[in-house]
């Protein structure tokens, strides 16, 4: 489980979080037991202002904390900046569809691929991890359905060789479990040595189902955000990420105890209240029910 609240989760919010508040959230999530976090991006601050203090957050964390943290990058220059600040894990992201890549990053998909060897070389020289992150792997808001062959071509492109993981993104939350299973399985077959990550959104209410389909098809990491927060500012029709609380309640990793889930629910409620955002987590709702004989329900407070 990788919680992406502080990157994808914050992209569409109207309120900024201070560096200190972001660092506090990182430390609370790690203390609860969440094994991996995405803590920001190097997107242009004028386009995504909530990411403006990302490098300040990186510099405020310890080397040990940064081993569990990921940054979104889209150019070799981003990689340089992230590494200089102390980042150890990077997602080099672009879209399978040209139209979304032009809207999101300002260049064609092929141009992003052409720059990837330089990004990989920089990361490898610093001993950092870099993943290939493919947005709009299923559908594009401007072009419609994306051919799975397009995604497989990107995964196997020699220019992406050297990336240590592949992130398959249902950016719009329009995929269904059968599509997720098919694409994740095919990516796993053509790239068996890489970590395989599924990044889903819950636009149509099946984010958890898609996440479970990805896990059973070979995904070794899945993304979510507290309370289902998030969305892409350059993807009309996209809603929030699949809820971290919902994914964790469904998968029950060994570290997740009722107390740990309760801490996550409380943190999500506090953060979304601070941001004036709705809490879309069904697990958070269930945890506040009156069925106190169920061990996952929070005690009355």
Assigned token pair, 71: 């940054």
Residue found under tokens 């660092």:
23
Kindly name the residue from 69, 133, 169, 232 that is annotated as catalytic.
232
| Res 131 pLDDT > 70 | yes
Residues 133-191 have pLDDT tens digits of: 999 999 999 999 999 999 999 999 999 999 999 999 999 999 999 999 999 999 999 99
Q: Give the domains, in start order, of the chain with CATH numbers.
A: 2-256 (3.20.20.70)
Q: Is 89 left (phi over 0), alpha (psi -120 to 50) or beta?
A: beta
**Average per-residue pLDDT for the chain:** 95
Place of tokens 């053509």: 190
Looking at per-residue pLDDT, the higher value among 239 and 62 belongs to: 62
Q: Check whether 4 has a pLDDT greater than 70.
A: yes
Distance separating alpha carbons of residues 87 and 122, to the nearest angstrom: 12
Question: What integer pLDDT is reported at residue 301 of this predicted model?
Answer: 73
Global pTM exceeds 0.85: yes
Supply 237's token pair: 């029709």
232 is catalytic: yes
11 with 49: CB under 8 angstroms?
no
pLDDT of residue 94: 96
Higher pLDDT: 245 or 15? It is 245
Cβ atoms 103, 84 nearer than 8 A? no
Q: What pLDDT is attached to residue 234?
A: 57
Give per-residue pLDDT as tens, 225-264. Answer: 999 998 765 555 566 899 999 999 999 999 999 999 999 9
How much is the pLDDT for 92? 98
Task: Dump strand ranges (E) for 118-190.
Answer: 129-135, 139-140, 144-145, 165-169
């Amino acid at each position: 489980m990788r919680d992406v609240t502080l990157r994808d989760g914050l992209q569409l919010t109207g309120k900024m979080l201070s560096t200190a508040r972001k660092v506090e959230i990182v430390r609370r999530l790690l203390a609860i037991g969440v094994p991996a976090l995405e803590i920001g991006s190097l997107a242009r601050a004028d386009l995504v202002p909530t990411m403006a203090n990302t490098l300040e957050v990186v510099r405020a964390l310890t080397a040990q904390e940064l081993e569990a943290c990921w940054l979104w990058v889209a150019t070799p220059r981003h990689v340089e900046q992230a590494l200089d600040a102390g980042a150890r894990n990077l997602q080099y992201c672009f879209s399978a569809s040209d139209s979304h890549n032009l809207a999101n990053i300002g260049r064609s998909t092929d141009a992003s691929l052409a720059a990837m060897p330089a990004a990989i070389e920089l990361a490898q020289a610093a001993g950092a991890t870099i993943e290939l992150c493919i947005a709009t792997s299923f559908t594009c808001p401007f072009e419609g359905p994306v051919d799975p062959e397009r995604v497989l071509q990107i995964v196997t492109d020699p220019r992406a060789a050297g990336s240590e993981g592949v992130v398959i993104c249902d950016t719009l939350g329009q995929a269904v479990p059968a599509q997720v299973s098919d694409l994740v399985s095919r990516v796993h077959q053509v790239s068996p040595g890489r970590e395989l990550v599924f990044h889903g959104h819950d636009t149509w209410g099946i984010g958890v189902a898609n996440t479970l389909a990805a896990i059973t098809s070979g995904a070794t990491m899945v993304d979510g955000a507290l309370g289902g927060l998030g969305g892409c500012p350059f993807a009309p029709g996209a809603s929030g990420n699949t809820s971290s609380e919902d994914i964790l309640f469904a998968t029950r990793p060994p570290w997740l105890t009722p107390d740990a889930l309760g801490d996550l629910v409380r943190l999500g409620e506090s953060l979304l209240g601070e941001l004036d955002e709705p809490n879309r987590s069904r697990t958070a709702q269930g945890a506040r029910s009156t069925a106190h004989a169920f061990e996952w329900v929070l005690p009355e407070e």
